[in-house]
Amino acid sequence: MQLIISEKAIAGERIASLLADGNVSQKNVLGAKVFDFNWKGVETRLIPLRGHISDVEFPKEYSNWMSIPLENLVSAPIIYSNKEFRIIDCIKNSSLDSDRIIIATDADREGEAIGLEAITYAQQSNKKIKIERAYFSAISKEDIEKSFSNLEKFDYNFAYSANARREIDLIWGAVLTRFFSIVSGQLGKNFLSVGRVQTPTLALIVDREKERNAFITKKYWEIITNCKKGEEGEEFSASHKEDKFWEKEKAEKIIKKNIKELVVKKVDTREKILKKPVPFNTTEFLRAAANTGFSASKAMDIAESLYQKGFTSYPRTDNKAYPASLNLKEIVNKLASIPDFVDDVQKILSQEKIIPSRGKETKDHPPIYPVVAVKKSILNKDEWRIYELICRRFLATLYKQAVTQNVSVLLFGKEEEFVARGQTIIESGWKSIYFYSKLSEVILPKLNVGDKINVLKITLLEKETLPPSHYSQSSLIKLMEKYNLGTKSTRPNIIQKLYSRKYIFGNKSIEASEIAFAIINSLEKNCNIVTKPKMTSQLEKEMDEIAAGKKEMNLVVNDSSNKLGLILETIQKQKEVIRIDIRKAIHTTNIIGSCNKCNKGNLVIRKGKSGKRFVGCSNYPNCNNSYPLPQKGVITTTDDLCIECNEPVIKVKNGRFEYKMCLNMSCKTKESWKNFKKKEENKNTKK
Q: What is the DSSP string of 501-542?
A: TTSEE-SSS-EE-HHHHHHHHHHHHH-GGGGSHHHHHHHHHH
Give the confidence band of 655 by pLDDT, cuts at 50, 70, 90: low
Looking at the predicted structure, is the pLDDT value of residue 50 above 70? yes
CB 542 within 8 A of CB 551: yes
Q: Are residues 437 and 562 in the same domain?
A: no
Q: pLDDT: is 197 or 680 the higher one?
A: 197
Looking at the predicted structure, is the pLDDT value of residue 579 above 90? no
pLDDT score recorded for residue 677? 46
Residue 293 lies in a domain: yes
Q: Which of 22-36, 395-409, 640-654 has the lowest mean pLDDT?
A: 640-654
Non-local CB neighbours of 271 within 8 Å, separated by 6+ positions = 403, 404, 405, 406, 426
pLDDT score recorded for residue 683? 47
Integer-rounded Cα radius of gyration of the chain? 31
Q: Are residues 19 and 136 in the same domain?
A: yes
pLDDT score recorded for residue 658? 67
Residue 56 lies in a domain: no
Residue 44 corresponds to which amino acid? T
Model confidence pLDDT, tens digit, residues 397-426: 999 999 999 999 999 999 999 999 999 999
Q: Are residues 44 and 118 in the same domain?
A: yes
Q: Are residues 513 and 578 in the same domain?
A: yes
Q: Which of 52-56, 292-296, 409-413 has the lowest mean pLDDT?
A: 292-296
Helix axes 553-573, 575-589, angle to 10 degrees: 80
Looking at the predicted structure, is the pLDDT value of residue 179 above 70? yes
Identify the sign of the CA torsion 346, 347, 353, 358.
Answer: negative
The CATH number covering residue 191 comes to 1.10.460.10
Give the confidence band of 364 by pLDDT, cuts at 50, 70, 90: confident
The CATH number covering residue 432 comes to 2.70.20.10
Give mean pLDDT, residues 375-383: 94
Q: Are residues 541 and 657 in the same domain?
A: no
Looking at the predicted structure, is the pLDDT value of residue 548 above 50? yes
Looking at the predicted structure, is the pLDDT value of residue 302 above 80? yes
Q: Are residues 455 and 370 in the same domain?
A: no
Residue 57 lies in a domain: no
Give the confidence band of 670 by pLDDT, cuts at 50, 70, 90: low
pLDDT score recorded for residue 325? 87
| CA–CA gap between residue 241 and residue 260 (Å, rounded) | 17
Give mean pLDDT, residues 612-632: 82
Looking at the predicted structure, is the pLDDT value of residue 657 above 70? no
CB 109 within 8 A of CB 139: no
pLDDT score recorded for residue 191? 80
Residue 632 lies in a domain: yes
Residue 181 has phi, psi (to 5 degrees) of -70, -45
Model confidence pLDDT, tens digit, residues 586-606: 766 667 777 877 887 788 877
pLDDT score recorded for residue 686? 46
pLDDT score recorded for residue 478? 92
Q: Are residues 91 and 146 in the same domain?
A: yes
Give mean pLDDT, residues 652-670: 70
Residue 58 lies in a domain: no
Give the confidence band of 649 by pLDDT, cuts at 50, 70, 90: confident
Q: Assign residue 561 a region: left if phi > 0, alpha if psi is -120 to 50, beta otherwise?
A: alpha
Q: pLDDT: is 539 or 552 the higher one?
A: 552
Looking at the predicted structure, is the pLDDT value of residue 249 above 90? yes
Number of domains in the chain: 5
Give mean pLDDT, residues 147-172: 94
Q: pLDDT: is 241 or 678 the higher one?
A: 241
Residue 680 lies in a domain: yes
314 is a catalytic site residue: yes
- 399, burial (CB in 10 Å: exposed 0-12, middle 13-18, buried 19+): buried
Q: Are residues 390 and 519 in the same domain?
A: no
- 41, burial (CB in 10 Å: exposed 0-12, middle 13-18, buried 19+): exposed
Q: Which of 107-116, 491-500, 650-659 has the lowest mean pLDDT?
A: 650-659
Q: Are residues 605 and 489 in the same domain?
A: no
Catalytic residue among 121, 160, 307, 314: 314
Give the confidence band of 680 by pLDDT, cuts at 50, 70, 90: very low
Residues of the chain with pLDDT > 90: what percent? 66
pLDDT score recorded for residue 675? 47
pLDDT score recorded for residue 72? 92
Instruction: State the DSSP code for 368.
Output: B
Looking at every residue in the chain, the average pLDDT score rounds to 89
| CA–CA gap between residue 64 and residue 53 (Å, rounded) | 24
Q: What is the DSSP string of 271-324?
A: EEEEPPPPPB-HHHHHHHHHHTT--HHHHHHHHHHHHHTTSB--S-----S--T
Range of the domain at 140: 2-49+84-154
Identify the sign of the CA torsion 95, 98, 100, 103.
Answer: negative
Of 667, 51, 548, 492, the C-alpha closest to 308 is 51
Residue 249 lies in a domain: yes
Q: pLDDT: is 136 or 192 the higher one?
A: 136
pLDDT score recorded for residue 617? 85
Q: Are residues 577 and 661 in the same domain?
A: no
Give mean pLDDT, residues 249-267: 95
Looking at the predicted structure, is the pLDDT value of residue 656 above 60? no
| CA–CA gap between residue 508 and residue 311 (Å, rounded) | 29
pLDDT score recorded for residue 479? 94
pLDDT score recorded for residue 488? 85
Q: Are residues 241 and 102 in the same domain?
A: no
Give the confidence band of 486 by pLDDT, cuts at 50, 70, 90: confident
Identify the sign of the CA torsion 354, 356, 362, 366.
Answer: negative
Q: Are residues 150 and 193 in the same domain?
A: no
Give mean pLDDT, residues 637-657: 72
pLDDT score recorded for residue 144? 94
